[in-house]
Amino acid sequence: MRSTLRARVRLAGAGLALAVLAACAAPTAQTAPPPSGSAAPISSSSTAPTGPTVTVPQLSDTPASSPAPSSPESSTSAPATTEPAPATSEPVDATDNPADDATPTAPAPSTAAPAPAPAGQTTARPAPSGGKTVVIDPGHNGANGANPDIINQQVDAGFGQTKNCNTTGTSTNDGYTEHAFNWGVAQALRDELEAAGVTVVMTRDSDTGVGPCVNQRANIGNQAGADAVISLHGDGADASGRGFYVLTAERAPGSAETAGRSATLAADVRDGLVSAGLSTSNYLGSDGLWQRSDLAGLNLSLQPTVLIEFGNMRNSADAALMSSAAGQQQYASGVAKGVLAFLG
């Protein structure tokens, strides 16, 4: 009896062992790995945008506190200022800053430009009959002086050259800043051109931001396919000099035809300013015209482009005119007349 019971226990144990072994040997279901070379689907939001993008410095909500009036992109050397901004100042000309003004990415010119426009870009108005587009580039910006880490970055200035992203610009002896003057003329010019049915794109939409960099300003005009690009500046030369001059690129960045169109635009703008009662420079250029080879805004533009130094902010007579609303309107009307003549 006991031997029979022991045999049954042994048989039961053997059966249990076989069941356990069978369970361990059974294959487990596993998810097949993705085929080699396949990639996870990309969401539409991460798809690279078509067309070139414009990278511009982030705009500051806080205007610069007494930005150091360094001279603009252009050439003349301006007297040292007592402003706090550590930004590098340029020779007196406001020229380079226009096209040579980067940091955060933001949209580029609105309506008129086919590519994303810089942050805060003014909305372009409906395209007029004829579809003419003009880019207005008020040099510098109000918060440049408070952001030297942005504006002192080196950017492409064309033909193997580099330049500061932007500068603070110059000022009158009384402290009226160039960036404020440029902004005042830009608004008046925009209004006159839009009243004539021209679509206007501005490279900045306020006087309290930073940049954009000079190379990106040129890119805004290129992306917009502008019929004309007008860069606005004020000079800061020796107090004896006065009057305006219109700059074009010494070396043609685009085709010979575009270079010729820039020369025609410069002559038309010069004539418009003279007809508005303004005098050509007595210290730089010839008959109100001059060429430069070191200005990013001119070197990188593939559209008809000019840079205007409206007057010497260190000269008392020029400074008085440039600091007044009436003077800024006079400058704007002269430029508008020249631009409209150029557009035909």
Cβ-contact 157, 299 below 8 angstroms: yes
Q: CB atoms < 10 A from the CB of 186, how many?
A: 26
The pLDDT tens digits of the residues spanning 57-106 come to 333 333 333 333 333 354 333 333 333 333 433 434 433 433 333 332 33
Tokens coding 312: 């010497």
Segment 163-192 shows an average pLDDT of: 98
- Identify the active-site residue in 73, 178, 192, 309: 309
The pLDDT tens digits of the residues spanning 302-331 come to 999 999 999 999 999 999 999 999 999 999
Residue 252: the pLDDT is 83
Question: In which element (H, E) is residue 202 found?
Answer: strand 199-202
Q: pTM of the prediction?
A: 0.67
Buried b or exposed e, range 133-162, using 16+ CB within 10 angstroms: bbbbbbbbbbbbbbbbebbebebbbbeeee
Segment 46-50 shows an average pLDDT of: 29
**Quick check: helix, strand or coil at residue 244?**
strand
Whether residue 23 is predicted with pLDDT greater than 70 in this model: the reply is no
CA angle 298, 224, 195 (to 5 degrees): 100
The pLDDT tens digits of the residues spanning 193-218 come to 999 999 999 999 999 999 999 999 99
Banded pLDDT at 49 (limits 50, 70, 90): very low
Banded pLDDT at 4 (limits 50, 70, 90): very low
All structural domains of the chain, each given as residue ranges with its CATH number in brackets, are 55-343 (3.40.630.40)
Residue 180: the pLDDT is 98
Catalytic, 309? Answer yes
